[in-house]
Structure 1
Amino acid sequence: MRLLLALGLLAALAACAPIPMREPPARNAIAVGPQPAANLSEGCVADYRPGADYFPDKAAFQHSAQLKVEYHKNWKRVTFTPSVDTRETLRLVLVQCGTPPPKLGARDSLVEVPVRDFATANVSLLGAAHLLGIDDRLKGVPTRDVSIPAIAARIERGETIPIYAAQHGNGEQAAALGADLFFTFYSAYPDANIHPLLKRLGVVSAPQSDHTEPTPLGRAEWIKYIALFFNLEARANGLFEERAARYEALRVLAAGVEARPLVQLGYPESRDEWSQAGGRNQLYRLVEDAGGRHAWQDNPIAGSLTYAPMEKLFDRAASADVWLGNFMPGAADIAALRRDHPRLEWLRAVRNSQVYWFDAGKVGPFANSWSDQGMTEPQDALAELIAILHPELLAAPARPRFIRKIPGGPA
């Protein structure tokens, strides 16, 4: 965690160049008639009728443990209850523009929809934005390094501004962008969350916490959450259902395996500390659905863990068959891994060269296909992991999208 905070500070210092203030685009007024046939994805209602249902296309959350949405005639309320222990619940009231807002509760935040433009401090949102077709509304991203060609091209042309916000965000730069909405990275550490600061700055924000979902499909459902702000529920529902069906077919394929390899997640954050996802994080469910098992089933944390001294890791995971590194970039090869972290030689997976990392498609220090697109493509990650753990069920893809084998040693 200290490393992440230090990186955030350095990124903020590197972002001293001013961001040009921009005037928000004008909203169009559209006559929709007595009953809209579909959600209004652009513009405002010009002929409001109190009895009309302005959201005929609706979404529901069946897999997410953190989200729920309720619909009313001209507004919808999204409730976010974090799976990490920050002891708060956030409620967002999304009102169709051109219609009157409801009476707000003390904890409600008002957002006019459809959102015209937005920025994000969380790269995991980018894959969903691209699938939903809202790249052209993206004003700010946390980094210049993006694995999605269409968004990378926008950054190169200066149409989308890198705000160098690390993960947790940069309040001042978010305010300077002048976007309708700023998606924040929601941290398990309350002091790192910037939505209270954004509120004081007058910036409308929404939390993004897909990474702490307990299941991969719960995480993938966050595409529906993003769609709510753009009235794109119908599109998001179709995208999610297609991916969920493929994921379920793969899960069933691996469900009957007899031998389940032991998998260790995480990475060495420093010489003496090991960081990994908690035992109730969606990454461990991915391992289980791929026909593996893990040593942290009794751990109730949905966020991340840090073990110091590292011997706590060895107590449980020294015998793991596979080490699956996540978040931080992996080593160039096994020799480099052994040189930089000699004690990791105690891990059976290192000795047997069964080390894999979620850093395929790397485009920058912390940018790769998994960071940008892993939220919305769990079926591809599951297929790759099944091929690693059970090659008798699936052949490994010629060019993995997410998971790279650290070269060196046995194939």
Structure 2
Amino acid sequence: MAKYNKVVLAYSGGLDTSIIIPWLKENYGCEVICVAGNVGQDAELTGLEERALKTGASKLYIEDIQEEFVYDYVFPTIKAGAVYENKYLLGTSFARPPIAKRIVEIAKKEGADAICHGCTGKGNDQVRFELAIKAFAPNMPIIAPWRIWDIKSRDEEIEYAEAHNIPIKLTRETNYSKDMNLWHLSHEGLDLEDPMNEPLYNKEGFLEMGVSPEMAPDKPTYITLSFEQGIPVALDGKKMDGVTLIKTLNKIGGENGIGLADLVENRLVGMKSRGVYETPGGTILYHAHDVLETICLDKATQHYKQQIALKFADIVYDGQWYTPLREALSAFVDKTQETVTGDVKLKLYKGNIINAGVCSPYSLYSEEIATFGEDEVYNQYDAQGFINLFGLPIKVKAMLDEKRNENK
């Protein structure tokens, strides 16, 4: 192995990165500087510095990038309407680019020889981290222990930790692979690896951001979200910054059993994986934004934007945030959002989000034109000519088919 004097490690304090610190020192003889990007994982940051230093790191940076995460990554993705494979709201996917960007900044500041991450060789995160690193430090060496060490499983990781007296919070029975930020919590591994197993939503300790729909209150909760140019700015008339708004919606949505997603997704590396996601606030925001667009966007723009959303979701999922195509698509999306301003009222009830009203100063909906009652602005007879022209290709083909059949 190459020798490095100083390595910056993307550090979470979880099982992977905890054992990577002594592994790096043993195999590279290097100083290890840890960097944790605070994207809203809250309790996971408690005691993190002490844990990193005790495990052998010389320093830990805890970088609060929550605001950047929300405004530069989350909100642009909501505005795009990007959802991966109809269910996944990209919680891990768009958190990795800002974390990696900050890690590069610190690596340059510290004069590091390499950057290390704890992503497995089977996952998507290795791609997301490394593409972001390449975007800001194209010549920086990257160390990915899971692709080169002898450890083959999470059980072996626990054995390594025990042998090196590394304190960990996991046991073999609670060893789910989780990722937490202010947007979501993901669960993978253990019983979830079998798609036939129902998630243990009602088991104590499984859900952390809310409750199952069955355990939600019997009384609905009404909320009103306000948007300005596609960005949520207020809840029930109270202005809020993005970070506070998402955290508030997480609490409200979680209490009402909102935002549980169980899916088998197609990973970038070619395999399928099963994950369970908790995204209470995000699910509400996506729903409200979609509702508002139905009255603010014309049909052609709305339908074309749905095609863009599919590509945008793939780009985010595949770690290609820092690319010309993502920037170009965001420019298109921003143009569509210039009139996406207004209020959306929703009813939350036992895991369901039910529309309860929408209004906008830029609404394209006209009750006077759409009414089933009497009106003086629409001549229904005009529809006859429209249908004749719109259906002309169908009529001509049918006429010619009849003629050909007669001549057989």
Higher RCO, 1 vs 2 (CA within 8 Å, ≥6 residues apart): 2
* CA radius of gyration, larger in: 2
The two structures have a TM-score, normalised by structure 1, of: 0.24
The two structures have a TM-score, normalised by structure 2, of: 0.24
Of Structure 1 and Structure 2, which has the larger fraction of its residues in helix? 2
